[in-house]
Amino acid sequence: MSSAERHIIAMGGGGFSIEPDNPALDLYVLRQARSKNPRVCFLATASGDADSYIVNFYSAFTRLNCRPTHLSLFGRVPDLHKLLLEQDIIYVGGGNTRSMLALWRAWGLPEILRAAWEAGVVLAGLSAGAICWFEAGITDAVAGRLSVLQGLGFLAGSCCPHYAGEPERRPAYHNFITSGEIAAGIAIDDGAAAHFIGTELARVVASQADATAYQVSVSAGSAVEAPLPAEALPEA
């Protein structure tokens, strides 16, 4: 295994697709790369590779100090191992996590993404692009309800995005944890990101004054939240 430092940055919601006028989280992701002019590959799989999402990515990242590209799993697919291992950052967008993971597994992407992570490529993303790295997450992939979804397992425990932004998320996450359907884990607000170095949480950063993350666990049969102090990003 490579001795490179491994980074995963999980955003509850934010970045160019949710805060187009506030690049704080995206700039934070860029600063973690091993290059001062990093290569950034966007995976919009969870949106079905929506053209508008990919256009928005390029519109945002061509204004920043980086070299943006994207990977589509529709149409002709390039050499995935070569493309992803030559990146400095792999940035995963939001959408339908269940469909995204199914397609990734069909193409052998989990193994390639793990190899990239172990080689020092920063893995980042929001919503679907946040929960995918954990053992499990809370998803709205099925219309009208939240459910538990098994992730890639790069990080232990579970993850719930959009924690303060979508009112149904908090009670659903609490219920899943107290019932034992999902392991304890981290809940992340829109405008906040949890930065893991190796497999340990290193810090929480925020692009909004009231955004943060929480460790959520069970005590005496009830869900317990422990707020995590968030560092306000200078560009916010």
Annotation says 162 is catalytic: yes
Nearest alpha carbon to residue 206 among 186, 187, 231: 231
Catalytic choice (17, 47, 127, 158): 127
**The tokens of 222 are what?**
């009830």
Nearest alpha carbon to residue 7 among 216, 226, 200, 207: 200
Residue whose structure tokens are 């490579």: 2
The sign one gets for the Cα dihedral 175, 179, 181, 185 is positive
Annotation says 174 is catalytic: no
Catalytic choice (7, 162, 174, 195): 162
Nearest alpha carbon to residue 93 among 111, 108, 120, 72: 72
**Catalytic residue annotation:** 127, 162
